[in-house]
Structures are given as C-alpha cells and as structure tokens.
Amino acid sequence: MSISRRSILKVASLFALVPLAPKLLSATEADMAKHASKMGEVMSKASEMKYVTSLVKNGEVITGAHWGILKASIKNGKVVSSSAALKGVPNPLQTVTADLIYTKSRIKYPMVRKSYLEDPHNNKPELRGKDEWVRVPYEKAIKLISSALKETRANKGAKGVFAGSYGWKSSGNMHNSITLLKRFMAMSGGFVDTTETYSTAAIRVIMPYVVGGLQIYDAQTTYPVILSDSKVVVIWGANPINTLKIAWTISDGSGLEFFNKLKASGKKIICIDPIGSETVRFFQGVKNSEWITPRPNTDVALMLGIMHTMYTTKKYDKKFVDTYTTGFDKFLDYMLGKTDGVVKDAAWANSISKVDVKTIKYLAKVMFENRTMIMAGWGMQRAHHGEQPHWMLVTLASMIGQIGLPGGGYGFSYHYGNNGSPRAKAAVVGGMDMGKNGNPSNAHFPVARIADALLHPGKTIDYKGTKVTYPDIELVYWVGGNPFHHHQDINNLLKAWQKPKAVIVHDPYWTATARHADIVMPISTQYERDDISMSGEYSNINIVPMKALVERQYEAKDDYEVFSDLAKEAGIYEEYTEGKTPAQWIEEFYNEALKQAKAEHINMPDFKTFWKANKPITFEVPEEAKNFVISADFREDPILNALGTPSGRIEIYSETIAKYNYDDCRAYPSWFEPAEWLGMKDKPAEFHMISSHPEYRLHSQLDNTSLKAKYNIAGREPIWINEEDAKRKGIKTGDVVRVFNARGEVLAGAYVTKNMRKGVVNLSEGAWYNPDSKGLCKNGCANVLTLDIPTSKLADGNCAHTALVNVEKYKGKVPQVDIFEEPKNMKV
C-alpha cells in the first residue's frame, strides 16, 4: 500500500474547506436519519465479514490475551469461564474473561459531553470529568470527530493534533488500536507523536551511549544456560513472579516455569529490593536465598560501595575493564573522591542506602568469586536521575568481568515478556502498520512530558543533546491506554487536560480517561473480534488464533471500523483499508508467515485449516538456541564484533554525553541526590512510597474484574506498611488510611506486614482514579501522589518512584468506590 505526499497535502487542503461544527450541530435528528443510509454504504465494508467464521454458541474456543493463551467455555452465546489453554504455572489473570465482557463499567454507546455537544467552540473544558453525558448516534459521533479534526488541522496544522497515544492496548496484530490510530492520522495529514515509554525511558535512552544498543529488549542469556552455569543470581529491583504473568503480545508462560526451576536449583539467590515483593516472598525460606533492603532510590550508592570494595581489595577483573571498556580511569577518579573530595566506599554507601558495611563487602566478594547473573528490573530507573542505576550496573558487571560468559554478566529484562526463553525456529506473523510514508509531521516529545507539553505550548526542553519545543496542541486523540492511570501527579494532569479544545477517547470501559473526554467511542473488547498474534515476545513459540468469543456488546465498534469510517470522511478510505476487511487482513498476515515457513522448510497448514483447528501452532526450538549467551561474540572478539558506541566498547565515560554539559547527568555514572528521598534534611513527608506493578492486574487493566476480591482491603487499593511504622501510627490491617502529600490525597486499605522496609510504603499503581468532589481519590490511585518531573535533561523519563507521602488513619465517613459503574450523569 502506498500514498503520495501530494495526496496527503490534497487531503489537508480539503480540511480547510469543510463547514465548521456549529453548522453540523444545527441538523435535526431527521436530517441525520436521511444521511444514515449514505453513511451505511461508507461503513459497510469495514463492518462486513466481522468474523473469519461464524461464532461458536456452545463449546470451547481458543483465544489469547496479554496473560496467556486462553480456552473459553461458551454456553448459549455467553462466556461462562476461561482458563489456560496450555499446561503451565497457574495464572489467575486468565480466569476473568467473562468479567471483562459483561462488566458494569462497559461503555455501551457513543457518548458526547453535554457542553461540547451544545457548542464545540465554547465547550467548557473545565467540566471534563463532571459534565453530563449525552448519547448520540454512531454516525453523528463520526461527523463530530471528523469536524473537530478538520478544524484543528485548518487552524494549527498537523502540530495541533496529538495522537501519540500510549498504553498497553489489547493483544492482537490486526486490532492494534494505537497503530490503527497513527495509520489514520499519518495518512490524513500528520500528528504530534511521542517518544520513549513510561516503563523504560531512562534506560532505553542511556544504554545506547553505554553499550551501543537498547539491550532492554534484546534477547537475554537463556534460561537453560542460567540453570546450568550460574552459581549466584542477583535479582535487583525486579519482580518477575509478578510481571511474568503478562507479556506485550501473548505470554508463553515460560518465565514462571523457569523461576520455579531456579527456586529448586539450590543456587544462591539474592534479592535487592526495599519491599517484600512477590519475588522476595517466593524465595523466602529457600536455602541460600537472601533479601537486602536498601532505601529507595539509593541503588547507585550501594553499587558504588560494592565497586569501591572490589577495587581496593583488588577483587575485580582489570583485564576485562582494560580490554572491553573505555573511560574507567575517569570514573575511578570520581569513585575514589579525586573529583569531588568524597570517597565512595562502603561506609559512605551505608550512610546513604542504610545497607550495612558488612553486607556491602559481602556482596563485592560473592559476586566476584562466583559466576553471577545480575537480573535488574526497570523500577529503579523510574526515579529522579533514573539514567544512573543501569549505567552504574553495567560498570559493576564490567568490574566483575563475566559479561559474555555463560551464566554471567547482567540482563535487564528477565522480568519482562519471558525474556530468556530460547528462540524457536518460527514463521512470524506481522500486523498493521502506519503505511509506507509514515507520519508527515516530525513533531514529537517524550511521552512522560505530556502534561508539561499541554500546559506550556512553545516551551523548549533539553532531550538527548537536542532541543525540543512543545507544539500548541488543540486536539487529543487517545486509544488503547489510560493516561489517568499512567501519568504522574494526576492533579497536574487534570489542569493540563483542560487546555485542548477537543479530547476524543476510544475505550471499552468508563475509565477516568474516558470520563475526562469530550467524545467517547464504545470499543469492542478483544473477545468480541477475531485477531492473530505470536505467543512469546522472545521465543516466538506459537501462532495463536485469537478467535472472537461473543458478539460485540451493545453498540461497540472495532477501532478499525471507526478509523475506516473517519478515513471515508477524509477521502482516504481505500488507502487506509486497502479494500480489506479485518478477516481479510488476518488471513493476509498469516499467509505472509506461511511464505516464511515454506522458505525455511517449516511445516504450517493453510489458513483455513489453521483457523478451523482451534489451537495454536507450536514451533520447535533448535538445540543451539538453548545455549545463547548475550555479548558472547563481543567478548570473543571486541574488534570484529564491536559495540555500536563511538569507541566500539562499553563506555563507562561517554564523550558524547560530556559534550551535552548537563548538570543532572554527568559523562560517567554517578550518585545524585533525588528530589525526594528518606535521606533529605527537610523531608516534605514521612514515608517513601513505591508504586509497584500490581499482583492481579496489568497496570489498570483488570481492576474492573472480580480479581479485586483477592487484594482489595476495605473496598479499595491496599497500601503495605511496615509493622513498626503501623504500630507507631495506630494503624491495623483493614483500616482505611489517608495517604497524602502536597500533590494530592487518596484513601487506601492498610496491610500491615514485616515484608516492608521501615519508612517505606507500597501502593501499587493502576487503581482506577475515582475522585470525590474535593479531589480525594476514593480508590487509592497512586499517581495522585507521584512527582511529575523529568529523570534528567537526557531522557526526560518519569519519576514515579521518587515520592514521599504521609499516612494516617482516616477518621471521616468512608466514601464508597463507584468508578466501576457507568457515570451517573448520563442521558441515554
């Protein structure tokens, strides 16, 4: 498929000629009815052939989700239960498919905010989240969206339209809502996009300077190699027992199986984490397992203390450092205190991290003297100066000297997507894309700066050695995500959200993001449409038929249908759809994989046979794939297999970063005091709050299911608090507590435990934002309390884990959580 720049400009010129929204709104419902037959012709192509084959009314059907390959039981056209389709470690997330289809929080119809419907040009944006909702016909909603887009582009051009939509959209290669949005926006004139992610901004920016690539998404040394060759496994700031229940595509479940084998292996397991996570508890009581609890945001200081010990005891690999790295001498001057007068020894590290000197020296000895794999998570880089921890960890691993050896070195994504699974010899299914020409606009900014961008159009920020100027955004289009969960300091986001002239949201559910929109489109769940996907981001072990389980509920539409109809309005319908229905796209994606299979002599059935079989295709894993070791080729020949850095080696000192002259990110990894932490002289609040990934959700997904009964306390999100802290505050398990700071306040249910470092509390992210009239979140949304500042001028990532809060027993009348139902102010 192709579209010329000339065609794009032609469409853009048409936008300036269309009537403005008030004229559209003057039409009567009778006029809309007359227009409906014509619109029906427009919409017929995208909605026809909704399913590859007819739906099963009674029986079992295979589909997939982020939490695995599912087998759903259907009776009389309704899902009654779901479970894992393949054997593996039990995953409770796989059991609530019916909840997601039949929940009271479904958006049933196209809805428009009353003030927007009355006058789009004077729509009282301050009433977003409070205004009355009015049901409109689907065709009218399409016209409203189309008019808003055309008017915005006529006034502001592509830089007035934000479609850098971000989130964990549902699984599936066809119905990838974010790609479908960007495809439409790119073909219809361009849009403002985002860079980086909330999950990994700091690490994904810093790693190319250090090792010449992202590494966070690279295949890691495989599970079999670790089980065979590692003697010590250090799990640093990661919680794989929690996060391996999910995957970006469809989880293959292999990660949890690996950690069960690791638990039984007898290897020394060292968990470094201020909270007693699921992973910490998983290994508790196991012989040779240990738990070390530094203060939050002090990992860099702890690493420095370890490295100083290694250097002064001469228990480090000088040959590896000299051969495979550059800039160690400059870093050494910093570590030894020659640059700033502060020696970064174990005693200094103890004063910051509160890990005792004996333990620091022990870590230096045990990691150097044993084949050690350091599995580092992403949580510690979602903090102020988040670029530093993983850069420092690479430096530590370089001193240990085992990078590129079987079972040694480090890995940055053993907690994500079952990374470590050997790669199968597979044919890989593709999916939708933005089209050959991509986005004609080059406007973008880091995603974690969305509130700052909306509040301060024209502001220029530093970013990766360049300057980025925020555009003046008038229209926000969000699909496949929930920024009112993802973004930090929600009260600040609320102010920012009032700036655009129009906010359009696609969602199956009445999340806080949907409630703060102007136009809401009811979208089908992934269980109401056919799709296809690989299972296993790294293994590519299966092709999964994601079969529709039931009919689309109420007036729900697929994202593809909505954007196809908008494409018709914009005059790009044929270019957008290429004349294909979803069923035809799915078959095409499969057939492309089938071509790969034939070329590689891999046995695969034709599409009809595959779909009818109602089971995934499973590929074989070659023996050589099971022995993969990351960086082995670099270690073997650092000249022939040089890294992608300017020196070709690991850059402990970066000349490139040195030229940026940033005051918050030096040219070598180093300790910076965070904006908020427990070591401050004048703390703004008492406790350091960690907002970890939830045990029974994927961020905010699944918060509207019966899984809440497994974790909710007092009908809301639980907050974990150390038993000594709780006793001092007069708090018991089951109490409703008020958690607050200068940024906001929430209510949570107290869980008193010894599995928390003293002075630290954990309020998992992802609870649906549910404010009362004064802004108190009744459901315990952690991001009401977090800090919205950039990690540094280099990455501009988020600082979710840099937050101090107060906790007290709530004494008022406890309000009811009511976010999981339809808004009360609806006119249907």
Residues marked as catalytic: 166, 168
Residue 239 to residues 283, 658, 675: CA-CA distances in angstroms? Answer: 11, 34, 25
Measure the CA–CA gap between 561 and 175, rounded to whole angstroms. 10
β-pairing, 444-446 vs 193-195, is parallel
Residue type, 231: K
- Of 361, 375, 246, which Cα lies nearest the Cα of 315? 361
CA distance 706 to 665: 45
User: Where are the extended beta strands (E) located within 370-501?
Assistant: 372-376, 409-411, 444-446, 460-463, 466-469, 475-478
Asked if 74 and 550 touch (Cβ cutoff 8 Å), the reply is yes
* DSSP E strand boundaries for 457-564: 460-463, 466-469, 475-478, 502-507, 519-522, 531-535, 542-546
Angle at 786 between CA 682 and CA 475, to 5 degrees: 135
The CA-atom distances, in angstroms, between 58 and each of 72, 75, 549, 610, 765 are 10, 5, 10, 20, 38
The DSSP line for 220-235 is PSPHHHHHHH-SEEEE
Q: How many CA atoms lie within 13 A of 827 on its CB side?
A: 11
CA 407 – CA 628 distance, rounded (Å): 10
The DSSP letter of residue 663 is S
Burial label for 6, CB within 10 Å (0-12, 13-18, 19+), is: exposed
Residue 91 · residue 695 · CB < 8 Å = no
Write b or e for each residue in 264-296: b if 16 or more Cβ atoms lie within 10 A of its Cβ, otherwise e.
ebebbbbbbbbbbbbbbebbeeeeebbbbbbbb
Q: Token pair of 351, please?
A: 């004063």
Tell me if residue 373 falls in helix, strand or coil.
Answer: strand
- The DSSP output letter for 682 is S
Single-letter amino acid code for the residue at 654: S
Q: What is the DSSP string of 112-177?
A: EEHHHHH-GGG--GGGTTTSPEEE--HHHHHHHHHHHHHHHHHHHGGGGEE----S---S-SS--H
Per-residue buried b or exposed e for 403-423, using 16+ beta carbons within 10 Å of the residue's own CB? bbbbbbbbbbbbbbbbbbbbb
Q: What is the CA radius of gyration of the chain?
A: 27
d(CA 610, CA 604): 8
What tokens were used for 787? 């800090």
State which amino acid sits at residue 347.
Answer: A
Asked if 68 and 250 touch (Cβ cutoff 8 Å), the reply is: yes
Give dist(CA 305, CA 364) in Å, integer.
9
Cβ neighbours for 624, distance < 8 A, ≥ 6 positions apart: none
Please state, in angstroms and rounded to a whole number, the distance separating the CA atoms of residues 605 and 675: 57
Spatial contact of 110 and 96, defined as CB atoms under 8 Å apart: no
**Alpha-carbon gap, residue 72 to 116, rounded angstroms:** 41
Cβ-in-10-Å burial (0-12, 13-18, 19+) of 366 comes to middle
